[in-house]
Structure 1
């Protein structure tokens, strides 16, 4: 780990910048949290009625970050239900949304995210937009990565799809059998699709699992984006630099 001074970093000196979507490029964590809450609250009400147990709604302020943030849909469902002590059959990838299985609940969330995007839109962080335009003008190639299968829908809704030379998301991971974070697979594929060696690429991540993934690969630099004032935590888990906003970088 290099622990460099952010103001001394010249991203334009590198050939590629690879950005995680949620929390770095877009404020979509709030969009996802709304969709997860709507889905889980409906399920939890139905489960409480069937089992005679008290209904306790999904807490988007704590349970979202603890159990589902940054994870593929099915894994988020598994972890949250396990935390609540609720058992459901795994089901299959083609399960319909109305089926009470891990995959069925994942499909429900996928349907809801489309509704939430159309209703609420997608917000882009202005510091990212300012810097990415400058870096692209300087010849830096850019890629976006996300565990979400709705990544393309998100960046299209935000009007920023043209600012990326490559995209590696949940659909890509399913097609290629990529391991999720903290493994570096998703970042390595992004660098490959950009035609740039990992050693010439900078990773931008806001999650612990993301900076761990960046540190696990042979990347030139891992920048932790500490929008929740968690600079020390990101550095402890593998970030070479931690910044509140990308405009702190030269």
Structure 2
């Protein structure tokens, strides 16, 4: 498994420090447009839950709620964190809880069923700039990994045609199997670097979620790229992004 650049590769071509040998990409919102589909599924799930369990005066789930409490976190963590913001605590339940069960796992399973249905209906589209960046990183000889809190990481990568670039994948299933803490803890990124045979000191992290940027920063990674898909550039910087871009293509040297 490659762990470094090919001889003669040049850092500025891909906008990273010269000592970076590996890249870890978040999936939803960085490589693919599926973050928007996740937000739709979370909103429907939480709005229906709040209407049934919190009363008609409870405000609906908002875009701010998504970025503050859910985006980038493992599914169950997102359920707990958002509901805690509304003063609601649920029993954990079991991983195979029915989607209608009033448990953390039940609510999470309802959301997952919805997002899979939406993905099936709409398909998965990678961002063209991200595909171009993956191509450039591959040509530069960088090791490439994906670190996502989604349990559907393999399915999304396959549907987007991106699996061919990926040498290591840490997803929601891996996080559960290895008992890793989810983002904003750095555990999943640290595991991704280790699976690539790299160290944080020589690895770049690419994230659009505040929780993910914080995880990259707190994990001591060499370079953290914040991808500003949700008009939160200042928040990305405040959480530890070394640079903020609207699209990964901005990092490529076109000269």
Question: TM-score, normalization: structure 1?
Answer: 0.86
The answer as to whether partners of 1:131 and 1:247 remain within 8 angstroms in 2 is: yes
Q: Which residue number in structure 1 is paired with residue 193 of structure 2? A: 191
Per-residue deviation, 1:38: 2.6
8 Å contact from structure 2 (residues 43, 62) kept in 1: yes
2:144 equivalent in structure 1? 142
Q: Which residue of 2 aligns with 1:47?
A: 53
Q: Which runs of 5+ in 2 are unaligned?
A: 1-11
**In the alignment, does 2:28 pair up with 1:22?**
yes
Distance between the aligned counterparts of 2:59 and 2:164, measured in 1? 39
**CA RMSD after TM alignment:** 2.3
* Number of residue pairs the alignment of both structures matches: 241
Tell me which residue corresponds to 2:219.
Answer: 217
Deviates more, 1:117-126 or 1:66-75: 66-75
Task: Work out whether 1:132 is the aligned partner of 2:138.
Answer: no
8 Å CA contact retained: 1:146, 1:168:
yes
Moved over 6 A (4+): none
Against the structure 1 CA distance between its residues 117 and 105, is the aligned structure 2 distance closer, same or farther, given a 3 Å change threshold? same
Aligned residue in 1 for 2:102: 100
CA offsets 1:74-98 (integer angstroms, 9 cap, x no match): 2222222233333432222232223
TM-score between the two structures when normalised by the length of structure 2? 0.84
Q: Deviations over 1:119-151 (max 9, x none)?
A: 111221111111111110221111111111111
Q: Residue 72 of structure 2 contacts residue 210 of structure 2 at CA under 8 Å; is this kept in 1?
A: no
Q: How many angstroms apart in 2 are the aligned matches of 1:220 and 1:84? A: 36
Q: Show structure 1 runs of 5+ residues with no match.
A: 1-5
CA shift in 2, pair 1:181/1:86, >3 Å: closer
Please, which of 77, 84, 87 is the counterpart of residue 85 of structure 1? 87
